[in-house]
Amino acid sequence: MIRGATATDYTAYAKLFRELAIAEPTPSYERWASELARGTLVADRDGRVEGYVDFYALSEAGHIRNLVVSPEARNSGVGAELMRAAADRLREGGIFEWHLSVKQDNTAAIRLYEKLGFEVEHRSTVFRMPWSIAGALPSEPAIASEVSPGDDDDLERELDMLSGRVAMTRRRNATLIQLRDASCAAAGFAAYDTGSGASPFRVARPQLIGTLLAALRPHATGPHIQIVMEDCPACTRVLVEAGAELRLELLHYRGRLA
């Protein structure tokens, strides 16, 4: 049975979340109960949660945050059931496009998503690097400032982000920093917090990587930073050459909910 999650599903959710094997810490019970549960469906088999799908809507698009199936229930169709149920909920809310991210080596999930009609939109790379090498990265003049809600549409349009993406990052209490060039055009954006690092990290060109990192540095509390570099192969090469540790490669998929 696919049903809506409740606060009492937290123990099962937290156990399944660890199956993702990502650096991000397991969300707290408080965040689960107040925010995440209402956007989550679970596969319940005789009182046992065998998987969940966590999703939300951004403007006119839906996004699958996580799909997780327990090891015991894999290859049984649970993942497909959860995805179809999430699609139905999104359609009911007037959403007819959805997006998701998946590890590049997760062949089973990729096979499922492509059967559901998803196509690759872009790639992103997760890096971990010491702040000590940030000064050696390319840098060019730009104006750095915190992001106000009035900046959101402009940033999303000029940096090719989904509508509503900036507002979503604001909800997680991240520090939002933007770069503007001499003509005041958007040149970079990062949402930074000490738990997940800078995610997303977007710059208009590789020469602005060091500039955006310098703007984030005053908010750092440790010797390292994690960066989720989106849709910039040239930026990825720059970070690798500088000695940043490549930790994860992701594919971003887009599909229609016809």
What percent of the chain clears pLDDT 70, i.e. is strictly above it? 100
Q: Which amino acid is at 192?
A: Y
Q: How many domains does the chain have?
A: 2
164 and 83 co-located in one domain:
no
229 and 130 co-located in one domain:
yes
| 107: in domain | no
144 and 51 co-located in one domain:
no
Give the whole-angstrom CA distance, residue 33 versus residue 168. Answer: 18
| 105: in domain | no
| Span between the terminal Cα atoms of the chain, in Å | 24
67 and 132 co-located in one domain:
no
Q: Both tokens of residue 78? A: 């649970």
| 119: in domain | no
140 and 87 co-located in one domain:
no
| 101: in domain | no
Tell me what pLDDT residue 97 has.
Answer: 93
| 224: in domain | yes
DSSP state of 162: -
Give the whole-angstrom CA distance, residue 39 versus residue 56. Answer: 6
Residue 172 pLDDT > 90: no
Range of the domain at 170: 124-250
Q: What share of the chain is helix, strand, coil (3-state, %, to 5)?
A: 40, 35, 25
142 and 237 co-located in one domain:
yes
91 and 135 co-located in one domain:
no
Express each pLDDT in 174-218 by its tens digit: 899 999 999 999 999 999 987 779 999 999 999 999 999 999 999
Helices 233-242 and 209-216, axial angle in degrees (round to 10): 70
Secondary structure (3-state) at 240: helix
DSSP state of 131: G
Query: In CATH, what number is assigned to the domain containing residue 11?
Result: 3.40.630.30
Give the whole-angstrom CA distance, residue 225 versus residue 129. Answer: 6
HSE (CB half, 13 Å, CA atoms) of 133? 15
Summary mean pLDDT of the chain: 93
| 114: in domain | no
147 and 243 co-located in one domain:
yes
85 and 159 co-located in one domain:
no
| 83: in domain | yes
Express each pLDDT in 106-156 by its tens digit: 999 999 999 999 999 889 999 999 999 999 999 999 999 999 999 999 999
238 and 156 co-located in one domain:
yes
| 181: in domain | yes
**Is residue 95 within 8 Å of 255, Cβ to Cβ?**
no
Give the whole-angstrom CA distance, residue 214 versus residue 22. Answer: 26
Give the whole-angstrom CA distance, residue 87 versus residue 101. Answer: 16
34 and 88 co-located in one domain:
yes
What does residue 232 show for φ and ψ, rounded to 5 degrees? -150, 80
